[in-house]
Structure 1
Amino acid sequence: MQRRTGKRAAVRFVRYRPVPMTRGALALNPAPPPAQPPGLRLVRPAAGVDAEVRAVADTAIRLVLDILAGTRPAHQLSLVAAPAVCRELLGRTGALLRRGGRIVPPRVLTSRLQRPTPTVAEVTAVVIMAGRIHALALRLDHTRGRWRCTALETTAP
């Protein structure tokens, strides 16, 4: 037998006892995930109709940027834009953006999408063209089963 002193040991040894194996279904099923409050849910941006709108919006932004920079012909926008938007951009194509003898492609810094109604989406983007920051706003309408850019506003020259 050990004598006990008034001091507590800094290290405590615990004897290992193996847990008996169970064969029930509860031992194999993991615990259910904690329930979320009814008003909160995780929204994934690439789910359902929003994925289609986001894809068209990203394509339209990229095409408009390339047209304004002069690296792409304006008629290629007709896949995702209304004829009035294409005609308006036809006269605004820029020259190739060169810096140090090489072409500098425009970049999209951020873009946001919101849907005020189920058939309308509004997209805003902050872009860099020729070393300057510009804003881009597009309106997408869902008509005849597809999304098309029907209005465009930009601060780019």
Structure 2
Amino acid sequence: MRGRTGKSAAVRFVRYRPVPATRGALALEPAAAPVRPPGLRLVRPEDGVEAEVRSVADAAVRLVVDILAGTRPAHQLSLVAVPTVCRELLHHTTARKHSAPTLRPTRIVPPKVLSNRLQRPAPTVAESVAVVVVAGRVHALALRLEHTRGRWRCTALETTAP
């Protein structure tokens, strides 16, 4: 910067440039939209593979929480999980339903995801850890996602929920 007079660098002065003559009665001519070549778009850091794996992990956590709470059938997990995980969770939820009946009606508390973290130990592996509320109690939930055949699928599931 030439001729610095000790003023703050946060303030910048811009010279006034006269507006060229306009056509018509308007004093301002509408600005033309910026032209972008076809096929190009703005890429944000959260776009791409990270956004895809995060959305699959969030959906899988939400599905598992709803299944554990009994508000969603277990077969819906097949959208994001391998068949062995679906079978184990289905077996777990049906065994819990056929356990000793309760004598008094219980209040249904909607499930909630309190926090969800994602890490990538390998390029084709992601692990998601979540703190969830199921039946009014706080539980931990861990999912392992693997990228196979062009899709992210949940291949392992651990939880402290009953």
* TM-score category (smaller protein): 0.5 to 0.7
Question: CA offsets per residue over residues 60-114 of structure 1, 9 Å max, x none?
Answer: 001111111111111100010000000000122256xxxx875321100000000
Q: Give the secondary structure class of the aligned counterpart of 2:132.
A: strand
Larger CA Rg, structure 1 vs 2: 1
Task: From the superposition, tell whether residues 22 and 105 of structure 1 become closer, same or farther in structure 2 (CA, over 3 Å).
Answer: closer
Indicate conservation of the 8 Å contact 2:140/2:161, yes or no: yes
Aligned residue type for 2:120 = R
User: TM-score normalized by structure 2?
Assistant: 0.65
Q: Give the secondary structure class of the aligned counterpart of 2:161.
A: coil
Match of 1:116 among 117, 121, 132: 121
In structure 1, the residue matched to 2:53 is 53
Give runs of ≥4 in structure 1 deviating > 3 Å.
Answer: 21-24
In structure 1, the residue matched to 2:148 is 143
Gap runs ≥5 in structure 2: 1-12, 19-43, 98-104
Aligned residue type for 2:75 = H
In structure 1, the residue matched to 2:100 is none
Q: Which moved further from structure 2: 113-122 or 102-111?
A: 102-111
User: TM-score normalized by structure 1?
Assistant: 0.67
Task: From the superposition, tell whether residues 49 and 64 of structure 1 become closer, same or farther in structure 2 (CA, over 3 Å).
Answer: same
- Number of positions where the alignment pairs a residue of Structure 1 with one of Structure 2: 115
Q: Give the secondary structure class of the aligned counterpart of 2:92.
A: coil
In structure 2, the residue matched to 1:27 is none
Q: Give the secondary structure class of the aligned counterpart of 2:121.
A: strand
In structure 2, the residue matched to 1:86 is 86
Q: How does 1:1-157 map to 2 (within 5 A)?
A: 22-23=16-17, 44=45, 46-93=46-93, 103-157=108-162
Task: From the superposition, tell whether residues 22 and 65 of structure 1 become closer, same or farther in structure 2 (CA, over 3 Å).
Answer: closer
Equivalent pairs: percent with the same residue? 73
Q: CA RMSD in A?
A: 2.2
Gap runs ≥5 in structure 1: 1-18, 25-42
Question: CA offsets per residue over residues 130-155 of structure 1, 9 Å max, x none?
Answer: 11110000000000000000000000
Aligned residue type for 2:69 = A
